[in-house]
Amino acid sequence: MMTTMTRKALLAALKERLAQDDRWALRALTVVYRNQTADEQRAQQTIEHNGIGFSGPDAEILSSFARQYQQRGSLSPRQMTVLRRKIPSYAGQVARVADTTRLTAVLSCHQSPQSADSRQMQPQPTE
């Protein structure tokens, strides 16, 4: 039987996972970067204050991380430390684009992301 979580509990669990798990942090980075407009991605800054994408202070660094991750498939240990500190604040955006039922199931069962079916946050190929 699946446990239901309140939105507040879901976001708290997601923030914790994003802060602790590199795979989840990198998936979230990709999801939020995709939410940026094309102009924001090019400029690596927030242009439209539309509630999606990176916030002004994070736009440059997290956009550069996202581009590097797309090109190289990894970030340095120091970059991962910064990412795990910053990406939990984007849990709301991640939850909005994720399959909430599956996300709730994964987070409420405390499964490891390696064994859990967490494709709802799987990065899409870029063109």
Residues 95-121: tens digit of each pLDDT = 888 877 777 878 877 544 443 444 444
pTM (2 decimals)? 0.74
Q: Total domain count for the chain?
A: 1
Please indicate, yes or no, if residue 101 is contained in any of the structural domains. yes
Please indicate, yes or no, if residue 2 is contained in any of the structural domains. no
4 confidence band (pLDDT: 50, 70, 90): low
List the domain range (segments joined by +) for residue 116. Answer: 7-121
Please indicate, yes or no, if residue 1 is contained in any of the structural domains. no
The three-state secondary structure class of 25 is helix
